């Protein structure tokens, strides 16, 4: 993967080293969404909810801390990947939808931070997107977890994660997330889980669409080995694999993101097609 020297997005905020309170705003759609989308990398729902319920406090304060060489490299990498998503989706919104793309912002933090409408974000959630303020929250220590905890290797694994979260931003912009969020209170837990799976698999699809176009439309260059790394990363965070690792067995009705095979397949479908309108997971009979 070639990314050095690429354009860095200016749509970012750095809160690393800043002290933050733990003001809980879990009520409503935003608070629920930070828990749902925060399950991307295998967070346990009951554990995350209990963590959120225990939070009290105030606000973020201070100045960003000085970064070491590895943190600087990962920060530059993340900003360049984000810039590439801006280039790709600006083009695709115009050519495939006839609309103007408004990019998301990437917020770097250490440990935990307050969000704009989704309660407190914590590194234990993994990277997540908050519809309330249309930001992606990322603690870059997660990059090490990709290798040590999930076995996802190569730089492209982190690029896939960022592209997946941008996929949730696409869903917000086209009106899907507001629509699915309005349905959640009317459905059973099993049906809510199915909606979540379809939402997450579509974000994987959008990550694949980005990968399809990234060489032509941005400063990043990837090859098929990178795509294999991306598929491996998607496969590594399948519900069936994570549940089996954690408890020795999988419970399909509790899946919120899809199986390893599904996540790999939908990422590849996006990469193969390059058509953002070819990934309607909500109309796929196999996901009903």
pLDDT digits (tens, 9 = 90+) for 70-99: 999 999 999 999 999 999 999 999 999 999
- What residues contact residue 166 under an 8 Å CB cut-off, 6+ apart? 82, 85, 89, 104, 129, 136, 206, 207, 210
How far, CA to CA in Å, does 59 sit from each of 115, 121, 246? 10, 13, 34
Please, what is the angle between helix 189-217 and helix 260-273, to 10°? 40
The average pLDDT across 30-35 equals 44
How confident is the model at residue 49, as a pLDDT?
A: 41
CA dihedral 83, 34, 278, 105 (to 10 degrees): -20
pLDDT digits (tens, 9 = 90+) for 113-122: 999 989 999 9
pLDDT digits (tens, 9 = 90+) for 211-260: 999 999 999 999 999 999 999 999 999 999 999 999 999 999 999 999 99
Q: For residue 49, how many other CB atoms are within 10 A of its CB? A: 15
The average pLDDT across 28-50 equals 44
pLDDT digits (tens, 9 = 90+) for 46-66: 344 444 444 443 344 567 788
Q: In what order do the strands lie in the sheet with 128-130?
A: 12-14, 105-108, 135-138, 128-130
pLDDT digits (tens, 9 = 90+) for 224-234: 999 999 999 99
How confident is the model at residue 159, as a pLDDT?
A: 97
Q: Is the pLDDT confidence value at 129 over 60?
A: yes
Q: Enter the tokens of residue 50.
A: 């209990």
Confidence of residue 45 (pLDDT cuts 50, 70, 90): very low
Q: Is the pLDDT confidence value at 22 over 80?
A: no
pTM (predicted TM-score): 0.86
């Amino acid at each position: 993967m070639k990314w050095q020297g690429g354009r860095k997005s200016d749509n970012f905020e750095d809160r690393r080293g800043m002290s933050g309170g733990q003001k809980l705003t879990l009520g409503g759609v935003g608070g629920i969404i930070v828990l749902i989308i925060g399950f991307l990398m295998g967070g346990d729902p009951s554990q995350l909810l209990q963590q959120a319920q225990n939070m009290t406090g105030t606000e973020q304060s201070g100045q960003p801390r000085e970064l070491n060489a590895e943190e600087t490299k990962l920060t530059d990498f993340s900003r360049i990947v984000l810039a590439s998503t801006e280039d790709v989706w600006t083009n695709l919104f115009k050519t495939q939808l006839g609309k103007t793309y408004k990019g998301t912002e990437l917020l770097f933090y250490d440990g935990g931070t307050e969000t704009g409408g989704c309660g407190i974000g914590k590194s234990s959630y993994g990277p997540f997107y908050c519809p309330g303020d249309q930001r992606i929250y990322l603690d870059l220590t997660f990059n090490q977890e990709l290798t040590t905890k999930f076995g996802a290797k190569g730089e492209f694994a982190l690029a896939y994660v960022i592209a997946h979260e941008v996929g949730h931003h696409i869903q917000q912009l086209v009106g899907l997330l507001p629509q699915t969020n309005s349905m959640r209170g009317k459905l059973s837990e099993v049906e809510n889980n199915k909606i979540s799976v379809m939402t997450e698999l579509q974000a994987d699809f959008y990550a694949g669409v980005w990968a399809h176009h990234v060489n032509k439309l941005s400063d990043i260059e990837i090859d098929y080995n990178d795509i294999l790394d991306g598929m491996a990363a998607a496969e590594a965070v399948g519900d069936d694999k994570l549940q089996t690792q954690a408890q020795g067995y999988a419970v399909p009705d509790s899946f919120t993101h899809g199986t390893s095979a599904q996540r790999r397949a939908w990422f590849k479908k996006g990469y193969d097609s390059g058509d953002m309108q070819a990934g309607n997971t909500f109309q796929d009979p196999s996901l009903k």
